Amino acid sequence: MTAIAVYGPSGSSGELQFANSSGRLDAAQAFWDSTAGKLFISGNLEVLGTETVVDTQHLNVEDGIIGLGTGSAGEGAAGDRGFIFLVSGETNPSFYWDDSADEFRAARVTTTPGNTTFEDPTGVGAGGYQNLKIKTLNAVSGAMLDSDQRSLATIGTDVFAYISGSDVKRAVFGGDVVVSGTLFGGSPLKLGGEVEFITSDGGTTDLKNPSGSVKVFARDEVKIGSDDGLIRFIDLGGSTAGKIFVTGSSTNADRRFKFLSKGQIHFHGKDPNADSPGTDVFVFVSGAIAPTDVTIPRGIALFGGDVVSSGSVGVIAGISGSLTHLYDGSSYLISDTDITITTASNGSVSIKSNAQDQRKKFVYDLTGTHASGNNLIIPSLDLSSVSHNPDRVDVFVNGQLMTSGSTKDYTVPQDNSVLFYFNLISDDIVTIRTY
C-alpha cells in the first residue's frame, strides 16, 4: 500500500485511514484510543531514519528475543553489539560484544549510540572494566581470571581454569576449598594454616614423592605426633631399604638432632608394642643377648666409636669384649711393683702379685781375699727382680748387716754382684736377702 494521504480521525474509535494509489480509503490499520491515550498499529512498524527516540518513562517489549544490528536488509555485517547506559557527567556503563576480541565485556566507555564500535575500556578517557556480580558461572571451554588478559592457550593447552596473582595481588579462596582430583603446587605451594587429610576411619594418607625425596622443614621445630602416641618410620624399599638416615646441617656444625620425650624412648628391633622394661627407664635399646642364636631375629645393639657415660654404668648380664684401653690408647689397669696384669681377648683380666717370689736369700763363702772397690760376683744372684732397690736388698758380712751407699759399705751396680768399699778376706761369709 502506498500512503498518499491521511485524513483526520473518523469513526467512533478515532481510526486513522490512509488513501491508496486509487484515491480510495483503505480499511483503518492504525487508530488512536483517546481514552487510553495510546496509538494502536495493526501491523508491522518500520522506521526508515537514522535515529529513533523513545521519550517515555517505561519501555515494555513483548518479544522474548531482541536482535541488535539488523535492518530492512536482514542481519547486519559483523561488528560490535551492545547496550550503553547513558549517564550525564560520567563515562557510560555498558555491556557489549567486542567482535574483534570475540568476547563479551562489561565496562565504562565514552562510546555513545551513534558510534559503530566500542572503544578500548583501558584507553585514555575510558572508565575501565567494571565489576560483574552473578550467582553461578558455567564455563564450557574454560575460565580465566587474569590481570594480563591472556588466553588459556598461552597458559597451557591442558588448562581449563586459570587465576592469576602475585606477591602483592594474591588469589584468595575464602571458606572450604575442595579438590576432587590432583593438586599440583607452585614454586612453592604455601599454606597459611593447618593441613588436614580426611579419610575414612582407620584410613591412611600418604605424603610422598615417587620421583625423589620429601623434605619437611620448619624455622623453629618440626612436630610429629599421634593420638595413641605411636609414630612409625617405614621405608618403601629401593637401594636404601631398611635404613633411616638422620643428618644434621651441612653448613652448621653446631646443629643437634634431639629426641625429646616426656615419657620413654624405645628403640625396638621387632615389636613396636613391646612392654616397657621398667618405670625408671627413659631410653631403651633392644637387642639380643645371644646374637649367634639363629632363632633370634634381632642382633646386638652396637655403639661404634667412643661411648661416654656421665653417670654409673650397671651391667646385668655381664660385659664381653676387651676393656683394656682408655681413650688415649693406654691400659686402664697399670701394674706396680710385684704386680702382674694379664688380659685375654675375651676381656678377662688376671691380676697377680709376685712379691712372694722376690723373697730370696743368697749365701756366698769367700775362698780368697777381695780388694775394696771391686765387684764381688755372687752366683745365682739376680737383683733386677727387685729393680736394684736398696730398700729391698739386705747385705750381711759374717752376720753383720751392712749399710748401702757409695760412702757407706756397699752398692749394687749390677744384677749379680755387690761392690764393697772395704777389703774382704778368705772364709768371710756374705749373705744377701731380697724382698
Is residue 366 domain-shared with residue 423, that is, in the same domain? yes
Alpha-carbon gap, residue 43 to 26, rounded angstroms: 14
**pLDDT (tens digit per residue) in 332-378:** 777 777 677 887 766 677 887 766 666 788 899 999 999 999 999 98
CA distances from 356 to 10, 362, 385, 393, 434 (A): 164, 16, 12, 14, 10
Domains of the chain: total: 3
Strands 103-109, 70-71: pairing is unpaired
Strands 161-163, 143-145: pairing is parallel
Query: Is residue 403 domain-resident?
Result: yes
Confirm if 418 and 430 have CB atoms less than 8 A apart. yes
Is residue 53 domain-shared with residue 87, that is, in the same domain? no
Strand ranges, E, within 160-288: 161-163, 265-267, 283-285
Query: Is residue 168 domain-resident?
Result: no
Of 92, 112, 132, the domain-final residue:
132
Query: Is residue 265 domain-resident?
Result: no
Report the pLDDT value the prediction gives residue 310, as an integer from 0 to 100. Answer: 87
**pLDDT (tens digit per residue) in 146-157:** 888 888 888 888
Tell me the backbone φ, ψ of residue 33, rounded to 5 degrees: -100, 100
Residue 20 has pLDDT above 70, yes or no: no
Is residue 361 domain-shared with residue 428, that is, in the same domain? yes
Containing structural domain, residue 121 = 76-132
H or E stretch covering 155? helix 152-155
Which residue type, as a one-letter code, is found at position 58?
Answer: H
The three-class DSSP label of residue 417 is strand
Whether this model's pTM surpasses 0.75: no
Query: Is residue 300 domain-resident?
Result: no
The 10 Å Cβ neighbour count of residue 424 is 19
Tell me the backbone φ, ψ of residue 197, rounded to 5 degrees: -100, 125
Of 93, 112, 132, the domain-final residue:
132
Of 113, 132, 151, the domain-final residue:
132
Residue 275 has pLDDT above 70, yes or no: yes
Q: Which three cell numbers stand for residue 224?
A: 610429629
Strands 92-98, 339-343: pairing is unpaired
Residues contacting residue 235 through CB under 8 Å, at least 6 positions apart? 241, 242, 243, 244
pLDDT mean across residues, the chain? 80
Report the pLDDT value the prediction gives residue 289, as an integer from 0 to 100. Answer: 66
DSSP structural state of residue 370: B
Alpha-carbon gap, residue 41 to 31, rounded angstroms: 7
